[in-house]
Amino acid sequence: MLARRRGWILNVASISALFPDPSSLTYGPSKRYLLALSRGLALQWREAGVRVCTLVPGGIRTRFFANNRIVLPGLVAGHLASPEQVARAGIRALFRGRLRLIPGLRPRLHVLLFKALLTPALFGFSRRLYARLRTRG
């Protein structure tokens, strides 16, 4: 892509990259790394004609949550996006030159809510609440 001076890279992170996630110690930080890497690549390669965009979706209607035994609060579970919707939004953002996209209003609101609920002062409480939800799961 650099030699051709043209190319596109769409990386997929998660809104879990934007706040501490009581359901996983590693998932959110690995997605946060992907955000940082993608931003660096985008800035470094922009002049060479390579576009890099990071898609930062909220919950998507797939088997991901069930396969990983992740319990979703009703607030999130009732508003999962379709994979097709998210993919279309990501491709559109990539070709429009966006560096990052959180597709949809609900995931943006979830980020604000979870950032407020998962502060250092409330994280222990949130982790215990999530553990309780998971055992009822």
pLDDT of residue 72: 74
Each residue's pLDDT expressed in tens, for the chain with a length of 137 residues: 999 999 999 999 999 899 887 777 898 899 999 999 999 999 999 999 999 999 999 888 888 877 877 777 776 777 789 999 999 999 999 999 999 999 988 888 888 888 887 777 777 877 787 777 767 65
pTM (predicted TM-score): 0.80
Q: What is the CATH classification number for the domain harbouring 31?
A: 3.40.50.720
Can you spell out the DSSP letters for 12-33? E--GGGGS--TT-SSHHHHHHH
- Confirm whether 1 is domain-assigned: no
- Confirm whether 95 is domain-assigned: yes
By residue range, what is the domain housing residue 83?
7-136
- Confirm whether 113 is domain-assigned: yes
- Confirm whether 117 is domain-assigned: yes
pLDDT of residue 137: 55
Q: What does each C-alpha distance from 16 to 2, 28, 30 come to in angstroms? A: 31, 5, 9
> 20 near 32, Cβ under 8 Å?
no
**What CA dihedral angle connects 112, 92, 65 and 74, to 10 degrees?**
40
